[in-house]
């Protein structure tokens, strides 16, 4: 974080806009940049409104002129349907504010330039012929759909303080979770549909909105954060005791972000367990050394690593047996996508955790072998993920869809 920049809290994302009257016109500046640089905003002679017609850009308002999936240049675009300009004009004349919310992570990676995207967007607005406010997410953080950082910035900073009437407002996008049909491939993600769902806006695909086709079939993600049950028992079986023996080793097994370290620090370390964590110590050999020393000192040990396969667990089981100590396995019942969601939530909530790439999650899944008693475990316990929230804002963010696919 740059020096002098205030660290954002979850409450910042849900702050209320100052009251103002609809119809107030914004400054005629053009392009602006957010404090952290991950958001570009274009607003020129825009009037605030309680009615918002929100749109994605690529695949929703425009397509490539070349017919390729990705534009070959900043000039490689055309209006998606001939009906688009007329539809926008009709909405604008009816008092709607037209707003584009677009993910452009290529800017953050250096694939695209800020200037190139800005000129492209200005040309699109000129072609469409109506005033349009634009929000461009340039990174992978809280501004990237389906997270609602762009919407919150719009609501709190860029609509003249006017509260939006969600019942009268809409959002249109092509990343809608639609399955493959005929020659048409499935949608590349759920991000637009989930963005609208997170905000509370009625959602339409471009075909539904501009061409008046009937509601199109779609799928939802396998993991739904709204359904995470905070009332589940922590352990299965319910009779699980901690500690389970006079002296023991517990080996944790689970995805990154499955809740292992939180569980360890909350439920085991306070009971005197020594945590051996490879990320902290540096190697599995050092974890073994710490385990052996702690057991000799009469202290319980927990191996707080992912431990997905037989080999990663075997080394600890054998070392514990040499010390004459029983070993239990605690498996975290948190799916891959649930763990990815938890990881993304950590990023947004400002928790001090390093980012975990999808490659790491995929690697864990490919290596995973279900633990069995044959490996030498005294018993195997399933640990359910029980979310804990510091406040309502944390829970509100957690219950939103944070993954685009």
> Where along the chain do the CATH 3.40.50.1000 domains lie?
10-210
For residue 324, CA distances in Å to 151, 319, 394 come to 58, 9, 44
- The token duo for 13 is 């994302």
| Per-residue pLDDT, 63 | 97
Give the pLDDT of the chain (405 residues) as one tens digit per residue. Answer: 434 444 455 555 555 444 434 444 344 469 998 877 799 999 988 999 999 999 999 999 999 999 999 999 999 999 999 999 999 999 999 999 999 999 999 999 999 999 999 999 999 999 999 999 999 999 999 999 999 999 999 999 999 999 999 999 999 999 999 999 988 999 999 999 999 999 999 999 999 999 999 999 999 999 999 999 999 999 999 999 999 999 999 999 999 999 999 999 999 999 999 999 999 999 999 999 999 999 999 999 999 999 999 999 999 999 999 999 999 999 999 999 999 999 999 988 876 667 899 999 999 999 999 999 999 999 999 999 999 999 999 999 999 999 999
Q: Which two tokens stand for residue 39?
A: 């958001």
Query: Which ranges in the chain are annotated with CATH 3.40.50.300?
Result: 235-386
| Rg of the chain in Å (alpha carbons) | 25
CATH class for domain 235-386? alpha beta
Give the Cβ contact number of residue 56 at 10 Å. 24
The set of residues, in sequence order, having a beta carbon less than 8 Å from that of 113 and lying 6+ positions away, is 107
Beta-bridge mates of residue 30: 43
In this prediction the pTM is: 0.90
- Cα 351 from chain centre: 14
Contact yes or no for 252/307 (Cβ under 8 A): yes
Structure tokens at 206: 């471009």
Distance, CA of 315 to CA of 244 (rounded, Å): 21
Closest CA to 339 of 270, 262, 267, 238: 262
Strands (E), 110-229: 132-137, 170-172, 202-204
Exposed/middle/buried for 373, CB within 10 Å: 0-12, 13-18, 19+? exposed
Residue 189, Cβ neighbours under 10 Å: how many?
A: 20
The pLDDT of residue 227: 97
Cβ neighbors of 368 (< 8 A, separation 6 or more) are 308, 309
Which H or E run includes 188? none
Helix or strand or coil: residue 249?
strand
pLDDT score of 14 = 53
Burial class (CB in 10 A: 0-12, 13-18, 19+), 45: exposed
Q: Which two tokens stand for residue 110?
A: 């250096």
Identify the DSSP state of 380. E
Sign (positive/negative) of CA torsion 278, 283, 288, 293? negative
Residue in 343, 328, 344 with CA at minimum distance from that of residue 383: 328
Q: Give the fold, CATH level 3, of 10-210.
A: Rossmann fold (3.40.50)
Pairwise CA distance, residues 294 & 56, whole Å: 56
Q: Give SS3 for 347.
A: helix
Query: What pLDDT is attached to residue 25?
Result: 39
Q: What is the pLDDT of residue 34?
A: 84
The neighbour count for residue 132, using CB atoms within 10 Å, is 25
Cβ–Cβ contacts within 10 Å for residue 73, how many? 11
The angle subtended at Cα 269 by Cα 266 and Cα 271, nearest 5°, is 100
Report the pLDDT value the prediction gives residue 352, as an integer from 0 to 100: 66
CB 290 within 8 A of CB 281: yes
């Amino acid at each position: 974080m740059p020096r002098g920049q205030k660290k954002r809290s979850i409450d910042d994302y849900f702050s209320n806009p100052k009251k103002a009257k609809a119809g107030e016109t914004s400054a005629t500046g053009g392009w602006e940049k957010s404090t952290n640089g991950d958001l570009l905003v274009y607003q020129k002679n825009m009037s605030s409104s309680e009615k918002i017609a929100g749109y994605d850009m690529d695949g929703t308002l425009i397509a490539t002129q070349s017919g390729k999936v990705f534009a070959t240049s900043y000039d490689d675009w055309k209006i998606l349907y001939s009906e688009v300009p007329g539809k926008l004009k009709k909405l604008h004349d009816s008092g709607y504010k037209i707003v584009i919310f677009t993910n452009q992570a290529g800017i953050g990676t250096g694939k695209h330039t800020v200037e190139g995207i800005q000129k492209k967007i200005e040309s699109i607005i000129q072609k469409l012929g109506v005033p349009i406010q634009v929000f461009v997410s340039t990174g992978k953080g809280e501004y990237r759909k389906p997270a609602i950082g762009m919407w919150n910035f719009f609501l709190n900073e860029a609509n003249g303080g006017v509260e939006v009437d969600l019942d009268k407002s809409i959002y249109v996008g092509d990343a809608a979770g639609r399955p493959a049909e005929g020659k048409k491939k499935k949608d590349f993600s759920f991000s637009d549909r989930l963005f609208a769902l997170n905000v509370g806006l009625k959602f339409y695909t471009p075909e539904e909105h501009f061409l008046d086709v009937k509601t199109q079939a779609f799928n939802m993600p396998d993991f739904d954060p709204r359904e995470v049950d905070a009332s589940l028992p922590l352990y299965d079986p319910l009779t699980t005791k901690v500690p389970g023996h006079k002296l023991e080793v517990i080996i944790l097994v689970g995805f990154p972000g499955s809740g292992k370290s939180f569980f360890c620090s909350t439920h085991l370390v306070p009971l005197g367990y020594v945590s051996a964590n490879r990320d902290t110590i540096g190697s599995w050999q050092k974890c073994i050394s710490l385990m052996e020393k702690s057991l000799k000192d009469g202290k319980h040990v927990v191996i707080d690593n992912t431990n997905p396969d037989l080999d990663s667990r075997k080394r600890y089981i054998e070392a514990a047996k040499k010390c004459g100590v029983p070993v239990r396995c605690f498996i975290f019942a948190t799916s891959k996508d649930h763990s990815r969601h938890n990881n993304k939530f950590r990023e947004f909530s400002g928790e001090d955790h390093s980012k975990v790439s999808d490659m790491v999650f995929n690697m864990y899944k490919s290596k995973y072998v279900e633990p069995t008693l044959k490996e030498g475990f005294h018993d195997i316990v399933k640990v359910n993920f029980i979310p804990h929230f510091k406040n309502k804002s944390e829970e509100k963010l957690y219950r939103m869809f944070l993954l685009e696919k």
